[in-house]
Structure 1
Amino acid sequence: MSRESGNNKQMRERIAQLAARLMAVDGIDDYALAKRKAARQSGAPDTRNLPNNDEIEHALRSYQQLYQAEEQRNRLRHLRERAREMMGLLARFDPYLSGAVLSGSAGKYSGIELLLFTDSMKDVEMFLLDRHIEYRSAERRIQIGDEARGVPNFSISTEDADFDITVFTPRDLRAQIRSTPDGRPLERVRMEWLDAALAEPNAPALIADSSLLP
């Protein structure tokens, strides 16, 4: 390995570690923002040698295991319990769990990401209104297969958890869904996976049973 290649590798690792710490300690939940801040702190704000999201998530898990093991484990279980409650409430809209609460990297500041698949966004809105659940609505730009599309998004804040709920059509279940055009497909699981994970305290954080995927 050349000296330049070695230096580049060290820079990527340093930025990944700093980005992971920013996410774990400061509550940044956006990988791109964490990378940019970490690059500035590393003295290389203009570098193109940035780690990818997988590298940052690996560094985040390592940081959590080293410095936040018990706290993170308890927080993850709490968030999964809240996710299960909300998914049960929204069962008619075919809910899936996604994001950090699924992957196991959720920390103190993480929200719960849910994906709904229904023919009518208005039905979701009326459901929330009928139950006096306060929400903020917006449109979120998502890559669905080869198409970039604006989809409805609802943000709900409760005393002990924040929910980010994105609404898709049933046909989108067959497509790969990405947050960005060049991002990796979002992992998603049904309530049955969550039931199994909560029933087994030592269950692995990552998806193990493909039968519970769409």
Structure 2
Amino acid sequence: MEEFFAPQDELRIEIAMTAARLIAEEGLDYATARNQAVKSKVGKQRIPRDRLPSDQDIQDELRAYQALFQADSQPGELNELREIALQFMQGLAQFEPIVYGAAVNGTGSAHSDIHLIAFADDEKEVDYWLLNQNINFDACEDALLAGKSFPAVAFRWKQRWFQLGVANHMQRRGLLNRQAPDGTVFQTDIAGLARLIEAP
């Protein structure tokens, strides 16, 4: 298949901007949004992986899009997302959950899912807890956090989709309070999420 070549920075930015719009307006995940953005820009032509925008590139464009087009609605939607995540995490407190993704990095909206990791010696402990709460769930793609993969389930609660991964207790210290390259925290615990909600 023919490879497509265009000015590297320009193409990467265009793809990132299109992906950001798809995430903001349609609630797509980053990978799906990036794939659709590539198709919209170059069709079926191949782009080398190292010329595609990173998740951070897309997130930067997403922040810019929200500031420009969703400044009146997105902050309130983010707060609602965080409130729902906090309520669920408080119920799940025995498993010392960590929340990550849009609820933490500030890009959350009405379209965003809630991503959590719970910690248990056996992942079935979390499954049983969900069943005891009358929450039906399905196995889904693995949860990804800090370059690690964890078995996960998906379910709907208070009109929001959740992805809940499970890791063992030994892994929690290595995941909590990790920072992105720019120094921002991209995951937090119950107390940290409460502080984000209380922050002006």
TM-score range, shorter chain: 0.7 to 0.9
Residue 161 in structure 1 maps to residue 160 in structure 2: yes
Q: Is the 8 Å Cα contact of residues 144 and 172 (structure 1) preserved in structure 2?
A: no
Structure 2 unaligned residues grouped into runs of 5+:
177-184
Alignment coverage as a number of residue pairs: 185
Partner in structure 1 of residue 46 of structure 2: 46
**Aligned in 2, Cα 1:86/1:141: closer, same or farther, shift over 3 Å?**
closer
Partner in structure 2 of residue 152 of structure 1: 151
Instruction: Return the alpha-carbon distance in structure 2 between the equivalents of residues 84 and 109 of structure 1.
Output: 17
* 1:3-57 Cα shifts (integer Å, max 9, x gaps): xx9922111111111111111112211x222222112211264122211111110
Residue 173 in structure 1 maps to residue 172 in structure 2: yes
* 1:142-172 Cα shifts (integer Å, max 9, x gaps): 5887xx76x3312120242111110000111
Instruction: Return the alpha-carbon distance in structure 1 between the equivalents of residues 186 and 67 of structure 2.
Output: 22
Instruction: Return the alpha-carbon distance in structure 2 between the equivalents of residues 143 and 188 of structure 1.
Output: 9
Instruction: Return the alpha-carbon distance in structure 2 between the equivalents of residues 40 and 47 of structure 1.
Output: 10
* 1:77-127 Cα shifts (integer Å, max 9, x gaps): 001000000000000001111111111111221100011111121211111
List aligned pairs for 1:1-214, cutoff 5 A. Answer: 7-29=7-29, 31-43=30-42, 45-48=45-48, 49-138=51-140, 140=142, 151-175=150-174, 187-200=186-199, 202=200
Residue 70 of structure 1 and its aligned partner are, at CA, apart by 2.1
Amino acid at match of 2:114: I
Q: Is the 8 Å Cα contact of residues 114 and 163 (structure 2) preserved in structure 1?
A: yes
Give identity over the alignment, percent: 30
- Which aligned segments of 4 or more residues in structure 1 are displaced greater than 3 angstroms? 141-145, 174-177
SS at match of 2:139: strand
Instruction: Return the alpha-carbon distance in structure 2 between the equivalents of residues 9 and 57 of structure 1.
Output: 16
Partner in structure 2 of residue 211 of structure 1: none
Instruction: Return the alpha-carbon distance in structure 1 between the equivalents of residues 145 and 100 of structure 2.
Output: 15
Instruction: Return the alpha-carbon distance in structure 1 between the equivalents of residues 46 and 141 of structure 2.
Output: 31
SS at match of 2:57: helix
Q: TM-score, normalised by structure 1?
A: 0.78
Instruction: Return the alpha-carbon distance in structure 1 between the equivalents of residues 8 and 140 of structure 2.
Output: 39
Structure 1, 12-21 or 134-143: larger mean CA deviation = 134-143
SS at match of 1:13: helix
Instruction: Return the alpha-carbon distance in structure 1 between the equivalents of residues 89 and 175 of structure 2.
Output: 21
Structure 1 unaligned residues grouped into runs of 5+:
178-185, 203-214
Amino acid at match of 2:170: R
